[in-house]
Amino acid sequence: MTSSSPAAPRGRERRKRDSRVGDKIFMNAARGSGILLLVIMAAIAGFLTWRSGIALSKNEGNFLTTFEWTPDAPKPVFGIAVLAFGTIVSALIAMAIAVPVAIGIALFISHYAPRKIAQPFAYLVDLLAAVPSVVYGLWGALFLVPHLDGLTSWLNDYLGWTYIFDQSRAGTTPRNLFTVGILLAIMILPIITAVSREVFRQVPRMHEEAALALGATRWEMIRTAVLPFGRPGIISASMLGLGRALGETIAVAIVLSSNNVLSLHLLDPGGGTFAQNIALKFNEAQPFGRDALMASGLVLFVITLLVNGAARLIVARRKEYSGANA
Amino acid sequence: MKLQRNGRSKALAIGAMALVSSLSLAACGSDNNNDTKASGGSSGGSSAAAINCGKSGTLLASGSTAQGNAMDVWKTNFGAACSGSTINYGGGGSGTGVQQFNQGKVQFAGSDSALKPAEVEDSKKVCTGGQGIDLPMVGGLISLIYNIEGVDNLVLDGPTAAKIFDSQITKWNDPAIVALNPGAKLPDADIQAFHRSDDSGTTENLTKYFAKTSGGAWSYPAAKAWAGKGGQSAKESAGVSAQVKQVKNSISYAELSYAQTNNLKSAAINTGAAKPIEATAVNAANTFAKAKVAGTGSDLALTLDYATKDEGSYPLVLVTYEIVCDKGNKADTLDTVKAFLTYAASDAGQKAIGDTGYVPLPKELTDKVNAIIPTLA
């Protein structure tokens, strides 16, 4: 094979050697990127832990159960109870609203809309992701909040008995965790939609046609072929959205009327989130106050890691049952 | 601040942060920027002749955002007159300013409050042979802004205002408010009180005033973080002003310029003087004129008399300082620092910031400052 011409082996060898060098470079570059990511994560975690250690050692309150946030007072007292509650509740409200709607939009784009509409529509949704969050915040404060007055009073009147929808003072401006949840839902919608849409597009044509051939209606086909196949993708997409909702800063800071009261009355102004608290307190904080804020940042970091880890676990388990391996 | 961002939103996040930080810097100050620029331009020509430039150079400074707009005006005018000199004033808050000053990163710092003893100790490391001193430069006035239909001349006093902001008084037709406003048509409506959700020097000054004058109704120590019960919060002076404008039967506090630019009414304060004191720059300047110097040596930290009963003295005022070394300033920038501060404390400098909603300091005070500046070394 190699003796057909004298020039060929040398040429081929050189090509082989070149490709080996290329392989090496690429492998090392990829490995380097991977290591770099780990180093960055470790650096963030290390930095946060170090600074929080300084703050926590001098905290006179209980970091986990205290409501106040006054690290710069003569007796530094600060805790994350209100912040953790607000962060998780607002993110959950956002997920409850955004996930079903996003799946609906994604299915519409991938399976219902005529091709002519689907493409521009998909761009439009992607465009939502490009709006800076400060713009969402201003829009939320100036437009959304006044326009949620009606919904808030309706919820208070008819669902007030559920306790969580009971307003302590009827008619207060709805700058509350519920409104924040709605705003966050709008903000995370494009991410969840975009990822789900791409996953739904990957559903093997054979599965869909098989379902239809068995006499399934379009909805039954989606339920039996598309959704099971897309489930890990939907979960991944939701986790991306949840990550954004947990960490959203400036929009929450603008819209929410924050205070250090932990209340299950979601329609009462009050509460707070980690990121919002950091944004509001950082500018005027003393060095010690900044360390305290770092400590709250560390908690958010850990919560996010846990959430992402849980999502990976779910996705890994689901993979076996879904059609993805077919 | 944002700890997790995913996929495409990462780039957005960076962009958004940049936008946010520039916006919030602009929003932190005492006035809106258009006004600042307009007056900076107009007063630039007239004051240019009066500025003695000294040696040209670049000054780094940072600190209080409350005086950010005053700095903008001053550095525009100073830069226009002294083409070789530039002033870079980074906001970031008083805490940051003092910290950077004590690390020797900036030549002077702007601060809402005078140096604390520990901070003075720290400053001795940077100011060889001397220490950091406080020079009062920018005066301000806190308006109690309100929005009540049919009420144009609301009068409050220390205890009543403190109780309103602490949810001890919750209705506008509460007997305590009616007693201060005979003849006013106060509605039978809930008071919507707004405070700052971010930590702020404005809150600190308001609560200092409450602590002194409320007769025990305000039971919290004065602090930058809001401690009162109930009420709603909004971000920065711009935020609370917008809420008061939007929400009926509301009240909040912000510096004078926000009351002016948003066309909001400010409550007059019954201090015990013959007539309730209106929230005007003139009335605030009267209070500054009588302020006592608490600092020793060349330190001009002031003690404001919040409980003043003098005619025409508005009690709810604040003063912010420039912090410099009395001795041991860096040799190559000392001349420029002196030139800049001299301009800032001059009549022209004070008048220029007076046009943007600050309170020009009275001559009694600027004379003291002007006596100190030449002695800096």
Structural domains in chain A, sorted by start: 69-321 (1.10.3720.10)
The predicted pLDDT at position A168 comes to 82
Q: How many CB atoms lie within 10 A of CB A60?
A: 13
Mean pLDDT of A303-320: 79
Closest by alpha carbon to A169, among B186, B241, B189, B151? B189
In this prediction, residue A95 has a pLDDT band, given cuts at 50, 70 and 90, of very high
Model confidence, pTM: 0.79
The predicted pLDDT at position B25 comes to 41
Helical ranges in chain B per DSSP H: 9-28, 33-48, 68-81, 94-102, 117-126, 158-165, 175-180, 201-213, 236-246, 256-261, 281-289, 331-345, 347-354, 363-372
d(CA A184, CA A165): 19
Average pLDDT, chain B: 85
Q: In the numeric block, which tokens belong to residue B246?
A: 């939007």
d(CA A196, CA A230): 7
Nearest chain A Cα distance for residue B109, angstroms: 14
The predicted pLDDT at position B95 comes to 81
Nearest chain A Cα distance for residue B81, angstroms: 32
In this prediction, residue A189 has a pLDDT band, given cuts at 50, 70 and 90, of very high
d(CA A186, CA B350): 47
In this prediction, residue A13 has a pLDDT band, given cuts at 50, 70 and 90, of low
Identify from A255, A267, A284, A296 which residue to disrupt to test chain B contact, counting B C-beta atoms within 10 A and taking the largest count: A284
d(CA A109, CA B191): 49
Looking at per-residue pLDDT, the higher value among B262 and A4 belongs to B262
d(CA A287, CA A295): 13
Q: Is the pLDDT of residue A74 over 90?
A: no
B20 contacts on A by Cβ (under 8 Å): 132-134, 249-250
Strand duo B108-111 + B155-156: pairing: unpaired
The predicted pLDDT at position B264 comes to 94
Q: What are φ and ψ of residue A70, in 5° steps?
A: -130, 65
A269 contacts on B by Cβ (under 8 Å): 232-233
Q: Is the pLDDT of residue A9 over 60?
A: no
Closest by alpha carbon to B163, among B152, B174, B154? B174
Closest by alpha carbon to B138, among B53, B219, B59, B64? B64
Q: Is the pLDDT of residue A321 over 80?
A: no
Judged by CB atoms closer than 8 Å, whether chains meet at A134 and B7 is answered as no
Nearest chain A Cα distance for residue B276, angstroms: 31
Mean pLDDT of B312-319: 93
The predicted pLDDT at position A90 comes to 95
d(CA B168, CA A80): 27
Q: Which position has the token pair 């973080």?
A: B225
d(CA A4, CA A222): 58
The predicted pLDDT at position B238 comes to 87
Nearest residue on chain B to A135, judged by CA atoms? B16
Q: Hey, is A322 helix, strand or coil? A: coil
CA atoms B91, B92, B97, B101: torsion sign: negative
Q: Is the pLDDT of residue B4 over 70?
A: no
The predicted pLDDT at position B91 comes to 78
d(CA B64, CA B71): 10
Q: Is the pLDDT of residue B46 over 50?
A: no
Nearest residue on chain A to B232, judged by CA atoms? A257
First-to-last alpha carbon distance for chain A, in angstroms, is 40
Nearest residue on chain A to B200, judged by CA atoms? A284
d(CA A225, CA A234): 14
The predicted pLDDT at position A99 comes to 96
The predicted pLDDT at position A318 comes to 62
A171 contacts on B by Cβ (under 8 Å): 190
Q: Which residues pair with B318 in a beta bridge?
A: B140
Q: Which of residues 238-297 of B touch A (CB under 8 A)?
A: 239, 242-243, 246-247
Helical ranges in B132-266 per DSSP H: 158-165, 175-180, 201-213, 236-246, 256-261
Q: Which of residues 88-127 of A touch B (CB under 8 A)?
A: none
Judged by CB atoms closer than 8 Å, whether chains meet at B225 and A171 is answered as no
* Three-state helix/strand/coil letters over B250-314: EEEEEEHHHHHHCCCEECEECCCCCCCECCCHHHHHHHHHCCEECCCCCCCCEECCCCCCCCCCC
Whether A256 has its CB under 8 Å from any CB of chain B: the answer is: yes
Closest by alpha carbon to A293, among A237, A249, A236, A230? A249
Judged by CB atoms closer than 8 Å, whether chains meet at A171 and B247 is answered as no
Closest by alpha carbon to A174, among A264, A271, A268, A272? A268
The predicted pLDDT at position A324 comes to 47
B1 contacts on A by Cβ (under 8 Å): 249, 275, 278-279, 282, 297
Q: Is the pLDDT of residue A96 over 80?
A: yes
Nearest chain A Cα distance for residue B25, angstroms: 10
Cβ atoms of A289 and A177 closer than 8 Å = no
- Cβ-nearest to B235 among A280, A297, A308: A280
Q: Is the pLDDT of residue B7 over 50?
A: no
Mean pLDDT of A140-148: 92
Q: In the numeric block, which tokens belong to residue A261?
A: 């009261």
In this prediction, residue A14 has a pLDDT band, given cuts at 50, 70 and 90, of low
- What letter would DSSP give residue B61? E
The predicted pLDDT at position B287 comes to 93
In this prediction, residue A163 has a pLDDT band, given cuts at 50, 70 and 90, of confident
CA angle B337, B339, B345 (to 5 degrees): 100
Mean pLDDT of A157-170: 86
Nearest residue on chain A to B233, judged by CA atoms? A257
d(CA A230, CA A49): 38
Nearest chain B Cα distance for residue A133, angstroms: 6
Q: Is B113 left (phi over 0), alpha (psi -120 to 50) or beta?
A: beta
Average pLDDT, chain A: 88
Percent of chain A exceeding pLDDT 70 equals 91
Whether A143 has its CB under 8 Å from any CB of chain B: the answer is: no
Mean pLDDT of B70-87: 90
Judged by CB atoms closer than 8 Å, whether chains meet at A275 and B9 is answered as no
CA atoms B46, B47, B48, B50: torsion sign: positive
Q: Is the pLDDT of residue A2 over 90?
A: no
Span A198-215, pLDDT tens digits: 999 999 999 999 999 999
The predicted pLDDT at position A298 comes to 93
Q: Is the pLDDT of residue B155 over 90?
A: yes
Cβ atoms of B350 and B39 closer than 8 Å = no
Listed range (B25-34, B107-116, B366-375) with the worst mean pLDDT: B25-34
Nearest residue on chain B to A238, judged by CA atoms? B6
Q: In the numeric block, which tokens belong to residue B277?
A: 């004191």
In this prediction, residue B261 has a pLDDT band, given cuts at 50, 70 and 90, of confident
Judged by CB atoms closer than 8 Å, whether chains meet at B233 and A132 is answered as no
Q: Is the pLDDT of residue A7 over 80?
A: no
d(CA B283, CA B299): 25
- What letter would DSSP give residue B88? E
The predicted pLDDT at position B230 comes to 86
Whether B92 has its CB under 8 Å from any CB of chain A: the answer is: yes
Whether B118 has its CB under 8 Å from any CB of chain A: the answer is: no
Nearest residue on chain B to A278, judged by CA atoms? B1
d(CA B28, CA B20): 12
B15 contacts on A by Cβ (under 8 Å): 132
Q: Is the pLDDT of residue B272 over 70?
A: yes
d(CA A250, CA A247): 10
B9 contacts on A by Cβ (under 8 Å): 129, 191, 244
The predicted pLDDT at position B24 comes to 42
The predicted pLDDT at position B30 comes to 40
Mean pLDDT of A224-253: 91
Q: Is the pLDDT of residue A18 over 80?
A: no
Nearest residue on chain A to B204, judged by CA atoms? A284
- Cβ-nearest to A132 among B12, B96, B194: B12
The predicted pLDDT at position B50 comes to 63
Number of alpha helices (DSSP H) and beta strands (DSSP E) in chain A:
13, 2
B113 contacts on A by Cβ (under 8 Å): none
Judged by CB atoms closer than 8 Å, whether chains meet at A134 and B16 is answered as yes
- Cβ-nearest to B200 among A44, A249, A284: A284
Span A283-292, pLDDT tens digits: 788 888 889 9
Whether B201 has its CB under 8 Å from any CB of chain A: the answer is: yes
User: Above 0.90 for ipTM, yes or no?
Assistant: no
